[in-house]
Amino acid sequence: MEAALLLRTFICLSVWLIGISADEPYCLAEELTPYVKFSSKTPYRFARGAFNTTALVPQGCEAKQVWHISRHGTRYAGFSDLKDFVNKLPKLQWLIIKANETGKGELCAQDASNLEGWSLGALNVTWASILAPEGERELRELAVRYKSSLPDLLDYPFSNESFKFRYTDSQRTEASARAYAEGLFGDAGSTIYMPKPLDPDPLIKFYDLCSKYIKEVDDNPEASIEATIFREGPEMAMVIQEVSRRLGINTTFGDVETMYDACRYYKAWDPVALSPWCAAFTPENLKVLEYWQDLLYYYEDGYGHAINYESACPPIQDLVQHFRKFVETEQGPRGIFYFTHSGALNKIVARLGLYEDSVPLAHDNLDPDRLWRTSNNGPFATNIAFTLSKCEDERGWWVSTLLNEEAVKLPGCLSKEGCSWQDFYTFYGQYEFCDFDAICENGKDSPQGPNEMSYFWDLIAKEIRQFWEDFWFSLDH
């Protein structure tokens, strides 16, 4: 009797509690594990594993050479995003506060108060795209972990012969390279020799030189039509509607996009703090926005178009050449370190054959278990570390591959532990012969190739500008 009563009370209580939690709007401030999968703006710490010796070098073998390519770390938002922050966020904040005061919207008190406490502070457009302090930490600590997992190879003083660095022509990749060098060499890292960047760079920013990619994907809005359809579709309409209801204001897609960027950038700049603008979204909303981003990258860099990954042979060629030379001569640098952009890393991930879904991503098949998930395989500071080891037994030379410090199984290898050099070469040796101009159909449309063409147009534009400047100057005087 008593037990039955107890059970009934328990059931009533549970139903009541479930009822409450279903009705209660989502409150970010009370969330212990907020959703932080923000596609390419995911802070590295939420996406990484951790280098360890066993994952990098098999038992009984010795690391001989590493080839490590990284995306720059967390940066400030780009120019147009920062302009949107400056122009739109204070206005949205004011509207949200007004709505909240008049009892509109569904924000919990703490979320509303966090949004009210937000301010632009010193943030302004001169910071556009520069590496944030968190980005420096990401790269420095990445190098520290690599070195402490491979002390015999990487705890070694710098010389031009022992370590090669290369970064693209941008502040954020240069600062990333410096931070990484400081992780390896301490204070000396700030002065070690690194070659001047190339612009364009045929090795680590190869896609800038690929006519076919530029024409068919980069300059072609149709290439990412799936992302566009999804952006204009019912899932996104629901997000806009729910965000409007939560905030108590009418929002457009543009508002939602700016608040999403504010949410994820502020989280990346200070990952341990709560990011107030994230309160505009439920985790379900964030998953819809994440899929939209995954679609974009899938079609701009990933498996969506063959030319995306076919253009990525120069870095794989470079990797194979370095390792083959070392296997044959036992000579070469201890470390090769490259610092580039998401456009390079995403394409290399696809060229290696990682995270390929059997069904292509499309606007109408949001698969929560998809493999192509840029929050995991393309966050800030995404990096792929190849380690070449020499084993004294029948294994011979060995290659391990870690993506974001997590061992990955390459299609050509038997397991996550890696590949014998033979197996690795059997699968990836083909990229040692990389006819980039043929793949990219360079010189097909214009005998000069894309780069000289853009140089040519830049020159014309400069001449025209100069002409008008001289013209106005002559009128003034």
Residues at the contact surface with ligand NAG, assessed by CB under 6 A: 49, 52, 54-55, 160, 193, 249-250, 406-407
Residue 250 or 422: the one with the smaller Cβ distance to ligand NAG is 250
The minimum distance between CB 52 and ligand NAG, in angstroms, equals 4
Q: Hey, CA dihedral for 388, 420, 141, 201, is it positive or negative?
A: positive
| Residue whose C-beta lies closest to ligand NAG | 55
Q: Give whichever of 63 and 407 is closer to ligand NAG, judged by the CB atom.
A: 407
- CA gap 350, 24 in Å, rounded: 42
Tell me which H or E stretch contains 58: none
What CA–CA distance (Å, rounded) separates 368 from 377?
15
Cα angle at 69 between 68 and 70, to 5 degrees? Answer: 120
Is residue 70 within a helix (H) or strand (E), and if so which, with residue range?
strand 61-71
* Backbone phi, psi, residue 454, to 5°: -70, -30
Tell me the CA distances in angstroms from 313 to 32, 282, 351, 384, 401, one per residue in order: 43, 40, 8, 15, 17
CB of 53 to ligand NAG, least distance (A): 8
**Looking up tokens 């998930």, which residue turns up?**
373
Given the DSSP bridges, would you call strands 335-340 and 419-420 parallel, antiparallel or unpaired?
unpaired
HSE value, Cβ hemisphere, 13 Å, CA-based, for 289:
30
CB of 95 to ligand NAG, least distance (A): 8
Of 141 and 290, the one with the shorter C-beta distance to ligand NAG is 141
Report which DSSP code applies to 75.
Answer: B
Cis previous bond, 200, omega within 30: yes
**Residue 249 CB, nearest approach to ligand NAG (Å):** 5
Kindly state the smallest distance separating residue 407's Cβ from ligand NAG, in Å.
4
Nearer to ligand NAG by C-beta: 134 or 141?
141
CB nearer to ligand NAG: pick between 250 and 448 = 250
Provide the CA 445 distance to its chain's centre, in angstroms.
Answer: 32
Nearer CB in complex with ligand NAG: 160/220: 160
- Residue 334: CB minimum distance to ligand NAG, A: 15
Q: Taking the complex as a whole, how short is the minimal distance between the CB of residue 1 and ligand NAG, in angstroms?
A: 53
State which residue, 248 or 314, has the beta carbon closest to ligand NAG.
248
